[in-house]
């Protein structure tokens, strides 16, 4: 064998080794997903390296990559798209052109990206909002909230809350010809977290008269307490959200101080004074048997009270909606929860389903066996997956029938 072919062989083995990630057999388009994931991992490695060199913050590299996908607000034959501000927070607004006799429905959408990256202008989010506006003949408000590491909790929450509160005023609803009884709040991943948190907070806000009809939580992140749930253990290295990145997102939401990240990575970040909160995320009670598999519930290990005092945000239900007391859950709207089997956040969603059902909230739970986290962002070429289209269709169809 010549040197050239040997080099070629070695190079292909290395590439194959790099690209290969164990993707469950049941997932369609496995190789395409592996390639996409290799792309994600490369970006992560570059970000780590650049950060290690002291050049930029890790999240800034991720942000640069996602910003490539930004699109201008371009109207099409069905939907008028504009970038504007509600209560000083930027939003991308989608108004259907079709003339309708009665009032329209509305969907408030909050994009994912771990509170650190992403944007309503990103191609997949822009497309999802167009589809929603078009299919439902609904007004869609996609929120451009501020992100970490520049801004930490509660800025993200407050930006979203400010927009929702502004939109829910009777005069604003009337201006957009929206039916006050047919409004939904939706979000995926970190956006699902913000949607759930805002829906809870609205219940206590006497100034808001219009009520949400529905909340749709798409593979949401809902709790900071136990980062060793069965789903975290089973899916530690699954595409596209490994546990290490989720821990980084969570800690970055509150602070850039690495001590919180390190404590979270070893699941020893909750101070003993907050032990009473663990009952809200006790998977031993809240997960159906099929998700527990052979995992054994272990009592929490507590961390220093210093972290809890310094960054109380991670114990706040506005950041972790699963930490809300049962009495706070009464009165929530009909809830749609979509969870993915191969996702570290799977059990967050499932535990919220259990908790809401226990207090009598109507919950529709779509669990997708052959799905990974972030499925909805894979709807645009060249990174589109049949899975992304299937999940988007499922969600929009449900909305159309129930909003
Ligand atoms: C406009 O709506 C029609 C009917 O739903 C659809 O076939 C068409 O593709 C839409 N146009 C765009 C640009 O999305
Ligand atoms: C979690 O639930 C299990 C089983 O019901 C129970 O034994 C354990 O004490 C609970 N732990 C906490 C912290 O609530």
User: Which tens digit of pLDDT belongs to each residue from 268-286?
Assistant: 999 999 999 999 999 999 9
- CATH number (domain holding residue 182): 3.40.50.1820
What's the whole-number average pLDDT of the chain? 95
Q: Does ligand 2 lie within 6 Å of residue 301's CB atom?
A: no
Per-residue pLDDT tens digits for 9-42: 878 877 777 777 778 888 899 889 999 999 999 9
Distance CA 289, CA 291 (A): 5
What integer pLDDT is reported at residue 145 of this predicted model? 98
296 lies in a domain?
no
Q: Decide which of 254 and 22 is more confident.
A: 254
329 lies in a domain?
yes
Q: Decide which of 362 and 20 is more confident.
A: 362
92 lies in a domain?
yes
What integer pLDDT is reported at residue 344 of this predicted model? 98
Backbone angles phi, psi at 180, to 5 degrees: -60, -15
Per-residue pLDDT tens digits for 134-165: 999 999 999 999 999 999 999 999 999 999 99
258 lies in a domain?
no
Distance CA 177, CA 164 (A): 16
41 lies in a domain?
no
**pLDDT-above-70 percentage for the chain:** 100
Q: Does ligand 2 lie within 6 Å of residue 282's CB atom?
A: yes
What integer pLDDT is reported at residue 360 of this predicted model? 98
Q: Atom 13, ligand 1: which residue's CA is nearest?
A: 76
Q: How far is the CA of 280 from the centre of ligand 2 (A)?
A: 10
- The answer to whether 300 and 270 are in contact (CB under 8 A) is yes
**What number is the average pLDDT over the span 384-389?**
96
> Range of 118's domain?
72-223+314-402
Among the listed residues 111, 152, 342, 373, the single catalytic one is 373
Distance CA 229, CA 193 (A): 17
7 lies in a domain?
no
Q: How far is the CA of 73 from the centre of ligand 1 (A)?
A: 17
Residue 373 among the catalytic residues:
yes
**What number is the average pLDDT over the span 287-303?**
94
170 lies in a domain?
yes
What integer pLDDT is reported at residue 227 of this predicted model? 98
The count of structural domains within the chain is: 1
Per-residue pLDDT tens digits for 124-141: 999 999 999 999 999 999
In the structure, what pLDDT confidence band is assigned to residue 1 with cuts at 50, 70 and 90? low
Cis peptide leading into residue 149 (ω within 30°): yes
Among the listed residues 126, 159, 228, 343, the single catalytic one is 343
What integer pLDDT is reported at residue 23 of this predicted model? 81
290 lies in a domain?
no
Residue 343 among the catalytic residues:
yes
Among the listed residues 120, 189, 231, 251, the single catalytic one is 189
Q: Does ligand 2 lie within 6 Å of residue 278's CB atom?
A: yes
């Amino acid at each position: 064998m010549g040197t050239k072919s040997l080099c070629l062989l070695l190079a292909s083995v290395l590439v194959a080794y790099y690209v290969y990630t164990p993707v469950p057999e049941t997932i369609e388009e496995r190789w395409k997903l592996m390639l996409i994931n290799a792309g994600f991992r490369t970006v992560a490695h570059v970000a780590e390296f650049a950060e290690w060199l002291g050049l930029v913050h890790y999240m800034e590299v991720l942000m640069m990559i996602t910003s490539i996908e930004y699109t201008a607000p371009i109207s099409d034959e069905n939907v008028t798209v504009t970038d504007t501000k509600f209560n000083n927070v930027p939003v991308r607004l989608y108004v259907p052109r079709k003339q309708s006799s009665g009032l329209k429905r509305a969907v408030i959408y909050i994009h994912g990206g771990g509170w650190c990256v992403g944007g309503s202008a990103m191609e997949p989010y822009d497309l999802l909002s167009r589809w929603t506006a078009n299919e439902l003949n609904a007004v869609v408000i996609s929120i451009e909230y501020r992100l970490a590491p520049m801004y930490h909790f509660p800025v993200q929450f407050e930006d979203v809350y400010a927009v929702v509160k502004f939109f829910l005023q009777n005069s604003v609803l009337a201006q957009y010809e929206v039916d006050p009884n047919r409004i939904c709040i939706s979000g995926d991943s970190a956006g699902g977290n913000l949607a759930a948190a805002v829906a809870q907070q609205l219940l206590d806000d006497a100034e808001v008269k219009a009520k949400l009809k529905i909340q749709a939580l798409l593979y949401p992140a809902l709790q900071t307490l136990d980062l060793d749930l069965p789903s975290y253990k089973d899916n530690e290295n699954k595409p596209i959200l490994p546990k290490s990145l989720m821990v980084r997102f969570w800690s970055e939401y509150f602070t850039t101080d690495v001590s919180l990240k390190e404590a979270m990575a070893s699941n020893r970040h909750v101070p003993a004074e907050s032990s009473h909160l663990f009952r809200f995320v006790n998977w031993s009670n809240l997960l159906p048997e099929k998700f527990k598999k052979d995992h054994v519930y272990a009592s929490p290990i507590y961390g220093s009270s210093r972290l809890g005092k310094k960054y109380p945000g991670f114990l706040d239900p506005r950041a972790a909606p699963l930490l809300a007391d049962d009495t706070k859950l009464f009165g929530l709207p009909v809830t749609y929860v979509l969870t993915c089997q191969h996702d570290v956040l799977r059990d967050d969603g499932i535990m919220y389903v259990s908790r809401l059902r226990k207090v009598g909230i109507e919950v529709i739970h779509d669990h997708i066996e052959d799905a990974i986290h972030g499925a909805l962002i894979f709807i645009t070429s060249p990174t589109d997956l049949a899975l992304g289209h299937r999940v988007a269709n499922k969600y929009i169809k449900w909305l159309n029938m129930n909003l």
